[in-house]
Homo-oligomer: A and B are copies of this chain.
């Protein structure tokens, strides 16, 4: 058993509160255990300079933590005058993951920016950000459809993410901060509703891992991701913005 009483393949409690920030086109407060992230989706009717005139849209993400989201206060990146490597890595990951389930041509020449701001951190902030940002993105797309700017959704499948790891020689799902600090192997996985991989990022800095461990980690991740997608569907309700094969398959599984 784990220190917080969970089974090895059990996620923490997940709560997704939609419409959390009134100004944003889409927004949620997502809580996975004690990790809390505000995710907002902001629509702009233009694309970055390098994409102009191609008839395609863009999805991008930014990630940050409040200084006291963590046990020890962190200096703000604005105060340091630059964004750190960890933050860059995470925001590149979030953007890339979300783009994998969006048909950018169908989105049209507009940008949706997903801001993921961690207000309390207890492990899994990047995976929680992806899971929450997907819901905010769907809400923003619904707004475009309701406003007549899009006739159908460019989102092709559900998308969620969890962390898995090897803690005390045991494969565990959805690590909290305490477990994460002790993990010998740490892996973040992003999958679609159809069960395909979008990102697999495993690292064994403390201890290289075998092919068997990799297999077990991926199996645990799949369980967690499907649970996350269930919560996303509950939040989005019947007015979901997900279409195509992914949505069909997901609906069939319901």
Question: A residues engaging B (CB < 8 A)?
Answer: 21-24, 27, 34, 38, 40, 42, 44, 62, 64, 66-71, 73, 76-89, 91-92, 96-97, 99-101, 113, 115, 117, 119-121, 157, 187, 191-192, 194, 196-211, 214, 218
Contacts and interface: CB of A to CB of B under 8 A. Distances in A.
Given A82-B82, A115-B67, A203 B198 contact: yes
A33 to B, nearest CB: 11
Overall SS of chain A's interface: mixed
A182 B206 CA distance: 34
A253 to B, nearest CB: 17
Given A120-B22, A200-B200, A203-B199, A76 B73 contact: no
Contact of A205 (B87, B96, B200): B96
Contact of A68 (B21, B69, B86, B91): B21
B68 A115 contact: yes
A199 B208 CA distance: 8
